[in-house]
Structure 1
C-alpha cells in the first residue's frame, strides 16, 4: 500500500520491542501529525481502568487515521507516555489489532499527563506517499 520503508540496520542493536529504528518517508509525501490520543470513549467518559484506557486509545487512533483516509500502514512514529507501568501483554494484544507494521517508537514514563485521570497517551505521526 505504501512505499514507506521501515528498517533495523544490522549496524545497530536489535529493537527491544515491536518497533523499527529507522523509518524512511518517500519524497513528496504528505505528513500528518495527530494530537496525543487518550482512553476517552466516544461519549466522553474516561474510566479508571488502564486496560480500558489502552483499548480506547487504540480505537481513537484508528478513528483519527480513518478521518484522513489513512491506515496503520501510514504511521511512521509512535510516542507513548504512561503514568504507570505498562502491562505489555495487554498492550501488545491491543497493538496487534492495529499494527502489522513496526513504526519507529518512543516510550516514556511520566509523573502526570494533561488530566489526573489519564493513565496513558499515545501520539502518532503518519505519512501518505504521493
Structure 2
C-alpha cells in the first residue's frame, strides 16, 4: 500500500525546461488537510515606511518583510509554494538579481512556483518590486 503524501510537493515535470536557473518550479501540489496562508504583496519599504531607490535593496527588504509575515504564523520560506513577483521596468539585469537573491533563500533549489509580472508602476512612488506568497501550514 502506498503511503499517503501529506506534505506539499514542488515538481518540475519531464518535458518542460529546467526552471531552476531562473529560481522557480513549474508546479506545486498541496494535499488536502493543509492550511493555506496567503500573504499580500510586500514591497521594499521598512516598517517605518522608508523606501531606498535601489532594486536589490528593495528586493532584500521585501524578502525580509515576507519572512516577518511567515514567522507570524510559525512558517519559513520552506513553507512557501507559490510566489507572484511584480517588477517595475523589468529587464534581464533585474531578473539576474532576483535569481541571485532567491537562491540565497532557497539554497536547496526547491523553489516555489513563481509568476513574474513586469509592470509600469506599483502602489507607492519609487516602489520597484512587490512579492506576494502562498504558504502551507501542515496540519
TM-score normalized by the length of structure 1: 0.89
1:4 is aligned, of 2, 8, 12, to 8
Question: 1:11: Cα distance to partner?
Answer: 3.0
TM-score normalised to the size of structure 2?
0.84
Q: Which sections of structure 1, spanning at least 5 residues, go unmatched?
A: none
Residue 18 of structure 2 corresponds to residue 14 of structure 1: yes
Alignment partners' CA distance in 2, 1:64 and 1:36: 11
Aligned to 1:108: 117
Conserved 8 A contact 1:81-1:120: yes
* Residue 77 of structure 2 is aligned to residue 72 of structure 1: yes
My pick for the range that moved more, 91-100 or 31-40, is: 91-100
SS in 1 for 2:103: helix
Question: CA separation in 1, counterparts of 2:116 and 2:82?
Answer: 11
2:130 to 115, 121, 128: 121
What is the root-mean-square deviation in Å for CA atoms of aligned residues? 1.7
Contact in 1 for aligned 2:86/2:129 (Cα 8 Å): yes
SS at 1:125's partner residue? Answer: strand
1:12-63 deviations in Å (ceiling 9; x for gaps): 2332621111101121000011110000112220111222111111111111
| Counterpart position of 2:95 | 88
Distance 1:11 1:50 in 2: 34
- Indicate the structure (1 or 2) with the bigger Cα radius of gyration: 2
The number of residue pairs the alignment matches comes to: 129
